[in-house]
Every structure is written in structure tokens, then in C-alpha cells.
């Protein structure tokens, strides 16, 4: 976790990590149920079984808690995708595999992904910038996959379009989260994945 942006009064790093994870776990339940603005720091402290005074030894503001939550969600998404992007023969095969994994992550973490996009605007400027940079870091994983496919000849795409296509892939994943209220009535997750993948393949194999 980013220690520079969230200072702590406690110097024991292992204890800080453990206590902050407690705070994150409690806050996630409250934020996804009530929203960030309707949740109080006292409720967060109660949820993670700390006194409010103890909690303030590890964070300074409610926005600090939101930042820790956003960072934890991004780290989980990124680590799962990085584990996926290994051991495939070519970029095209890797793209299909990592795209499916992205959609599965978006489905499993739907309330958490919604939380990031609904509440990031509430963060102070420096923390918001960091969270957006983490989003770009995840997008860059797909840039690397597309680059690999171009180099090994399994993907047909102009080099200057790599960044745009990587963002398109992320939006396809996010669409399942943001438009699930409608898409979920028409498609199962597997159907949505395969139809979006067919559209993507059509572009990259043209």
C-alpha cells in the first residue's frame, strides 16, 4: 500500500498492514451498501471492531479509507490479470485468454468496480491521480498483449492503435459492470464474453 499518500502514527509496518486490511474489509461492506458519503468514520470503526481513536492511528480522514479501498481493489484486479498473462504460444491466444479473465474479474468484483468509478471523484487530487494511474497500469497489460501479437504476427493492428484498442478492451469489461442492469437480462456472462470476443477478433483479424 502507498505509505507516502497515507501516513500512519504507528511505525510497526506489519501491524499497519494488518490493521489497514481490517479497515478496508469493513469499509468495503459499508461503501458498497450505503455509499461513501452516507457512511461515517464511526460506522467504519465499529464494522472493523476498532475504537475510532485507534482507527485514526492508521488513517487521517475518511478519504484515506476510500483511497485504501480503491488501491486494494486495483491491486487484486492487476495481480489476477498478471497471473493470467503467462505461458501462451502467441499474442492472439493470450489476448483471448486474458480477455475472458478480465470479464470474469469484472463479474466477480462488480460492486467493487462500481464503487471505484462512482467514488474516485471524492478523493483529494493527489490520491485521485494515483488511483487513475493504477487504472492505466491495468490497461497497459493489454497494450503489452497486443504488442506481442503484432510482433509474432498473430494480431493485425496498426501500432498507433494499440493504446486505443487496449482502452476499448477495458471498456468492454467495464460495460458488463455498468450496464449489467440491462445486459444481465439478455446475456449470461459466457454469452456476453463470447459475443464481445467475436467482435474483437473481427477487428484484430481483419
Walk me through the domains of the chain, giving residue ranges and CATH numbers: 62-204 (1.10.357.10)
- pTM given for the model: 0.86
pLDDT in tens, 116-130: 988 999 999 999 999
pLDDT in tens, 102-119: 999 999 999 999 999 889
127 Cβ contact partners less than 8 Å away, ≥ 6 residues apart:
5, 63, 67
Cell match 467504519: residue? 44
Distance between CA 134 and CA 123 in Å, rounded?
A: 14
What pLDDT score was predicted for residue 206? 56
What pLDDT score was predicted for residue 4? 60
Torsions phi, psi of 12, nearest 5? -75, 105
Residue pair 103/189 in contact by the 8 Å Cβ criterion: yes
**Largest CA-CA distance found in the chain, in angstroms, rounded:** 60
Positions in the chain short of pLDDT 70: 1-4, 87-88, 206
Q: Which contiguous run of DSSP H or E holds residue 45? A: helix 41-47
What pLDDT score was predicted for residue 61? 92
Amino acid at each position: 500500500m502507498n505509505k507516502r499518500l497515507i501516513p500512519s502514527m504507528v511505525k510497526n509496518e506489519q501491524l499497519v498492514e494488518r490493521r489497514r486490511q481490517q479497515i478496508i474489509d469493513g469499509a468495503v461492506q459499508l461503501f458498497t451498501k450505503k455509499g461513501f458519503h452516507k457512511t461515517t468514520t464511526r460506522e467504519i470503526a465499529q464494522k472493523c471492531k476498532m475504537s475510532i481513536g485507534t482507527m485514526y492511528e492508521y488513517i487521517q480522514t475518511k478519504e484515506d479509507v476510500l483511497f485504501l479501498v480503491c488501491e486494494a481493489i486495483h491491486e487484486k484486479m492487476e495481480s489476477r490479470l498478471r497471473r493470467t498473462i503467462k505461458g501462451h504460444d502467441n499474442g492472439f491466444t493470450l489476448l483471448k485468454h486474458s480477455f475472458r479473465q478480465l470479464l470474469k474479474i469484472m463479474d466477480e468484483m462488480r460492486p467493487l468496480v462500481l464503487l471505484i468509478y462512482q467514488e474516485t471523484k471524492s478523493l483529494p487530487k493527489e490520491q485521485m491521480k494515483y488511483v487513475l494511474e493504477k487504472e492505466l497500469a491495468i490497461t497497459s497489460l493489454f497494450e503489452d498483449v497486443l504488442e506481442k501479437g503484432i510482433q509474432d504476427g498473430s494480431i493485425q493492428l496498426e501500432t498507433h492503435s494499440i493504446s486505443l484498442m487496449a482502452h476499448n478492451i477495458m471498456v468492454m469489461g467495464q460495460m458488463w459492470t455498468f450496464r449489467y442492469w440491462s445486459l444481465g437480462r439478455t446475456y449470461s456472462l459466457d454469452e456476453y464474453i463470447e459475443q464481445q470476443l467475436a467482435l474483437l477478433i473481427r477487428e484484430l483479424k481483419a
